[in-house]
Amino acid sequence: MINLPQKVRLTEVGLRDGLQNESRFLSTADKITLIRMLAIAGIEEMEVTSFVNPSVVPALADAEQVMDGIRDLEIRRISLVANDRGYERALAARVDAITFVLSATDMHNRANVNRSQKDSIEMLERMAKRAHDDDIEIRLAISVAFGCPFEGNPGLSTILRLVETMVQRGFFRIGLCDTMGVANPQQVFDWTRAALTSFSDVEWELHFHDTYGRGLANILAGLQAGVSRFDASIGGLGGCPFAPGATGNVSTEDVVSMLDGMNLSTKVDINRLLEASDFVASKFARRLTSNLWQVRQSQCSA
């Protein structure tokens, strides 16, 4: 029998990681509607936006307006922040938690946030102290952890050294992100087990893109290794503008469907979730990459 956690916590990242890669702008009102639909479906934690330079990520230029429109919801509102200016905006918008990003390689870090990895570490140390003083939860996403488009596989030892550096700087909720979707289940299991063994006081989470169709298999490997927190994106939206070749995230619908079939609790209503998928598909006027959504569409048209 496979030994798995009985409760799995999902963080919806479609509103941030998903929309940042879409060429069509989703209106503020539609973003708010989508967040409300996801909340009704049972999603309790979401990366609802990103406080970054609007000229760099125009799809999320309305971060403050989105936050204002979801103030009444009983969800955990997370935003991504890349610098001090973004932190000030997030603080003023009264976010519940902040995601900071650090790449596992220097070349991707420069492409992603326009600074060296060393400079990012120094900045993040300062910002972690600020967040602690401001009583805001922080989480760290380590991008391209399993493979980088510029430098290849960073190696497990590199990841463990980087984690040790960031734990020393106050980060205890850390996500390993397969930004390129190149990880495989054996790698995920081995690396995640090593991370859990080496840093038992860290709250670990995993973030997978589905470039080669391995997303669900990698989630299962993460579950087997002992992780119970995962990111997912409605409709499989996503990609990284600064990682050539990256495609969408593993879809929330497919993750919930798989976990439901394994009798693992997510507290998410799959039918309500598919209503949110239909809303997304209607706004972007295209088929979603979610396998479950595509099957439902085929059944409805048969």
* CATH number of the domain bearing residue 114: 3.20.20.70
Residue 186 has a pLDDT of: 98
Confirm whether 4 is domain-assigned.
Answer: no
For residue 276, the Cα-to-chain-centroid distance in whole angstroms is: 18
Kindly state whether residue 210 falls inside one of the protein's structural domains.
yes
Q: Average pLDDT in the 54-61 region?
A: 92
| pLDDT (tens digit per residue) in 83-122 | 999 999 999 999 999 999 999 999 999 999 999 999 999 9
Identity (one letter) of the amino acid at 49? T
Question: Once rounded to an integer, what is the mean pLDDT over residues 5-17?
Answer: 95
Say whether pLDDT at 22 is over 90: no
Please state the domain count of the chain: 1
Q: Indicate whether 240 pLDDT > 70.
A: no
Dihedrals phi, psi of 290, to nearest 5 degrees: -60, 125
pLDDT given for residue 140 in this prediction: 98
d(CA 210, CA 104): 19
Neighbours of 151 (CB within 10 A): 15
186-211: pLDDT as tens digits: 999 999 999 999 999 999 999 999 99
Q: Residue 243: inside a domain, yes or no?
A: yes
Judged by DSSP in three states, 46 sits in strand
Contacting residues for 47 by C-beta, under 8 A, at least 6 apart = 11, 12, 13, 15, 16, 17, 78, 79, 80, 99, 231
Q: What integer pLDDT is reported at residue 286 of this predicted model?
A: 83
* CA 248 to the chain's CA centroid: 11
Q: Is residue 85 part of a domain?
A: yes
The maximal CA–CA distance of the chain, rounded, in angstroms, is 57
- What integer pLDDT is reported at residue 239 of this predicted model? 67
* Residue 247: band (very low, low, confident or very high) from pLDDT cuts 50, 70, 90: confident
Q: What is the pLDDT of residue 217?
A: 98
- Domain span at residue 239 reads 9-301
Determine the average pLDDT of the residues in 49-64: 94
For 126-160, how does the pLDDT look when each residue is reduced to its tens digit (9 = 90+)? 999 999 999 999 999 999 999 999 999 999 999 99
Residue 1 lies in a domain: no
Percent of the chain residues past pLDDT 70, beyond the cut: 96
pLDDT of 1 higher than 60: no
Rounded to the nearest integer, the mean pLDDT of the chain is 94
Per-residue pLDDT of 23-48, as tens digits, reads 889 999 999 999 999 999 999 999 99
Indicate whether 291 belongs to any domain.
Answer: yes
Q: Is the per-residue pLDDT at 282 higher than 80?
A: yes
What's the pLDDT at 244?
61
In 3D space, the residue among 242, 186, 181, 187 whose CA is nearest the CA of residue 215 turns out to be 181
- Give bridge partners of residue 232 from the DSSP assignment: 12
Q: Is residue 3 part of a domain?
A: no
Burial of 28 from C-beta contacts in 10 A (0-12 / 13-18 / 19+) = middle
| C-alpha torsion angle, residues 64, 233, 9, 123 (rounded to 10) | -50
Residues belonging to the active site: 240
Pair of tokens at residue 57: 């990520």
Higher pLDDT, 74 or 23: 74
Element (H, E) at 139: strand 137-143
Q: Is 99 left (phi over 0), alpha (psi -120 to 50) or beta?
A: beta
Ranking 2-11, 49-58, 152-161, 243-252 by mean pLDDT, the lowest is: 243-252
- Can you read off the two tokens belonging to residue 38? 């996801």
Nearest to 45 by CA among 13, 90, 5, 18: 13
